[in-house]
Amino acid sequence: MSSRLNPYISFADNARQAMEFYQGVFGGTLNLSTFGEFGAPDAPGADLIMHGMLETPSGYTLMGADTPPGMEHKPGENIAVSLSGDDGDELRGYWAKLCDGGTVSVPLEKQMWGDEFGMCTDKFGIGWMVNIGAPQA
């Protein structure tokens, strides 16, 4: 297995909904494991997500989990997810879905460096950057 870099997002008791939302955006296979599966199934929070991983047909990997009890959750801090490539139609489709119910801070449009670029915060408080470059010759 080769090394890969991907975001890992911490949620406040809504990791299942968020990861299912991202699966709806990107497609792919979603695997979710609960705290109860790896501990006491009757404990408070047993149905919360301990680890989730989405692997998409485009090769993206997104991981996430609910914040464990006793740890502070700071939504949206210190994380942004970057999507970049040259398939404009695909990236614009992701952009539209990610913005649905969220907030656009930089509209997806041509920038001074020549690419299309935009920034938004989705309905779960996660920041996204989309960069569409010219197709490589």
Per DSSP, what are the bridge partners of residue 119? Answer: 106, 129
**What pLDDT, on the 0 to 100 scale, is given for residue 39?**
76
**What pLDDT, on the 0 to 100 scale, is given for residue 53?**
92
Distance in angstroms (rounded) separating the CA atoms of residues 17 and 15: 6
Tokens (6 digits) for 55: 């692997």
Sign of CA dihedral 7, 8, 14, 16: positive
Categorize the per-residue pLDDT at 137 as very low, low, confident or very high, splitting at 50, 70 and 90: low
Q: What 3-state class would DSSP assign to 15?
A: helix
Give tens-digit pLDDT for 30-78. 999 998 888 778 877 889 998 999 999 999 999 998 987 777 887 666 5
For residues 12-28, average pLDDT: 96
Sorted by where each starts, the structural domains of the chain and their CATH numbers stand as 8-66 (3.10.180.10), 80-132 (3.10.180.10)
For residues 16-36, average pLDDT: 96
Give tens-digit pLDDT for 78-128. 577 989 899 999 999 999 999 999 999 999 999 988 999 999 999 998 889
**Are residues 29 and 53 in contact, defined by beta-carbon separation less than 8 angstroms?**
no
Categorize the per-residue pLDDT at 1 as very low, low, confident or very high, splitting at 50, 70 and 90: very low
